[in-house]
Chain A
């Protein structure tokens, strides 16, 4: 009998964990994140920091940018990738996802089917990136961390997340299928 048919292997690595288990794990790790980094979990915040680092490396300056005028944004700019908890955590998310898919023996390079797929990914990525910055967070930083820290803004974000998803999925079906 190979490992593929082993019950423990299947339960731990092969089949997706239930939403309930996922929710418990996310809650525990949110507490660990709060305790160790003095901030809630966020994903897209560091993207802006990374872009600013790249811009600065080419001689640019973001000193006059309103977006980077907050204390926390300034503090992030002073750090390096390795000393910035949020940046390292983002790397961990990617490495963790890769590890999970390798352990499940489900790693695969997916083919790009057509140009429309590329266009959808690029347009969608830009909209999400811009949206998450003007909303000061994505569905992690603004929604999940917002609601779990008792912020009303998280609930407002949730409401408009549904509106956006409804409009977005209609556009996707109409123009990109």
Chain B
């Protein structure tokens, strides 16, 4: 049940998504990845990718143009 953070601030598509895909492979089932982003395109494609792979996803707006995406690895 570990928590990992992935800082993708200042990174545009498709880099956040590629980084998330790579990082998720290292996680154990039950671990949570917190992705910090400030490009709205990642707000769309990262949760979309995670939901397609049946992970638990939650998004929080942490500031003007900044978001945290919580992804819990379920499989």
Query: Which chain A residues have a beta carbon within 8 Å of chain B's beta carbons?
Result: 16, 101, 105-108, 110-113, 117, 169, 172-173, 176-177
Contact = CB atoms under 8 A, between A and B. Distances in A.
A-B CB proximity, top 9 nearest: A108-B65, A106-B65, A111-B10, A113-B10, A110-B10, A108-B64, A105-B64, A108-B38, A173-B18
A110 B44 contact: no
Contacts of B29: none
Contacts of A106: 40, 64-65
Given A106-B65, A108-B66, 17 more contacts: A16-B44, A101-B65, A106-B64, A107-B64, A107-B65, A108-B38, A108-B64, A108-B65, A111-B9, A113-B9, A113-B11, A169-B14, A172-B14, A172-B15, A176-B15, A177-B15, A177-B18
B23 interface: no
A172 B66 CA distance: 24
A11 B39 CA distance: 19
Interface in B12-44: 14-15, 18-19, 38-40, 44
A106 B14 CA distance: 20
A120 B66 CA distance: 23
Nearest to A101: B65
A96 to B, nearest CB: 15
A25 B45 CA distance: 22
Contacts of A107: 64-65
Contacts of B66: 108
Nearest to B43: A16
Nearest to B39: A110
B69 to A, nearest CB: 15
Contacts of B44: 16
